[in-house]
Structure 1
Amino acid sequence: MATWRELVAFVRQGYDVIRDEPDELRIRVHFGGDVDDDGRVQTVVIAREVLDRREDWVQIATPFARVGEVNLQAVLAEIGATTVVGGAVIMGDYLVLRHSLPLVHLDFNEFTDPVELVAGAADELEQRISASDNY
């Protein structure tokens, strides 16, 4: 059984943490090289969510575009055709790819793959849609 505190300790050891708050971490996932290289990066929010006031979940979310700057139908079709993990949502002004996992039986190895898959898919979407690296 994993707890939020144990997950936070695991994330702090294995990821580039750029923001650390009680129920939310922000990490930077690097693609195409080391941390110091000019490779692409994706900022990922890892947040503790409580379902029905009793079950702890972890939400993995990362923005990849601004809502008003993309064709939503084309983006959703692309996600449907290419993405295995996560779903697209609108959060404020941003399109976000996110995925959630229950903490109750989470093995940390089951956490790392979704983080990489969500971050990688969002980075690819961002690159295809806007040819930028803003998130």
Structure 2
Amino acid sequence: MAAWRDLMTFIRRVYEVVRFEPDEVRILVRYGSDPEDQDSRVQTVVVAREVLDDGSEWVQLATPFAVVDQVDLAEVLEEIATTTVVGGVVIMGDYVVLRHSLPLVNLDYNEFSDPLELLAGAGDELERKFTGHDDY
């Protein structure tokens, strides 16, 4: 898969898409088999196409997990340093977001899916730990 349209075809086939735009798609990753189960959770992941100045295309994965002014950012960074293998933390508007980027050229499906699953899982755990909610 080396084209954005191929990635979008794959995402639409494999994931639950909740919003689709030409250069961005939002998907839900579900945890727990029964949506009515109180322990069932979801995590939103934004998949965006980024084109660098040199023309190279990248895929950016981002999942929000808290509102900036509602968490201790130093504590969040310490937690991520010891528990997370994919992504870094950024502030995007009012939100604390776990984000990871991948070059699109020669990207295989597992090179996309594995980081996406790790990012979504980490985002969900961070959200659970730092907010106690399931808002994202």
Fold shared, TM-score > 0.5 on shorter chain: yes
- CA drift at 1:46: 0.2
Pairwise CA RMSD? 1.0
Q: Deviations over 1:1-28 (max 9, x none)?
A: 5100000000000000000000000000
1:46 matched to which residue of 2?
A: 47
2:27 matched to which residue of 1?
A: 27
**Which piece of structure 1 moves more, 15-24 or 1-10?**
1-10
1:106 matched to which residue of 2?
A: 107
Q: Note the residue ranges of structure 2 that are not aligned, 5 or more in a row.
A: none
- CA drift at 1:52: 1.4
1:11 and 2:8 are equivalent in the alignment: no
Q: Deviations over 1:39-74 (max 9, x none)?
A: 100011000000114001000000000000000000
Give the Cα–Cα distance (whole angstroms) in 1 for the partners of residues 47 and 79 of structure 2: 24
2:75 matched to which residue of 1?
A: 74
Q: Note the residue ranges of structure 1 that are not aligned, 5 or more in a row.
A: none
1:61 matched to which residue of 2?
A: 62
TM-score of the two chains, using structure 2 as the length reference: 0.95
Runs of 4+ with >4 A deviation: none
Give the Cα–Cα distance (whole angstroms) in 1 for the partners of residues 36 and 45 of structure 2: 19
Q: 1:110 to 1:37 in 2, by over 3 A?
A: farther
Give the Cα–Cα distance (whole angstroms) in 1 for the partners of residues 58 and 2 of structure 2: 10
Give the Cα–Cα distance (whole angstroms) in 2 for the partners of residues 78 and 114 of structure 1: 18
- Aligned residue pairs, count: 134
Give the Cα–Cα distance (whole angstroms) in 2 for the partners of residues 114 and 37 of structure 1: 27
% same residue: 64
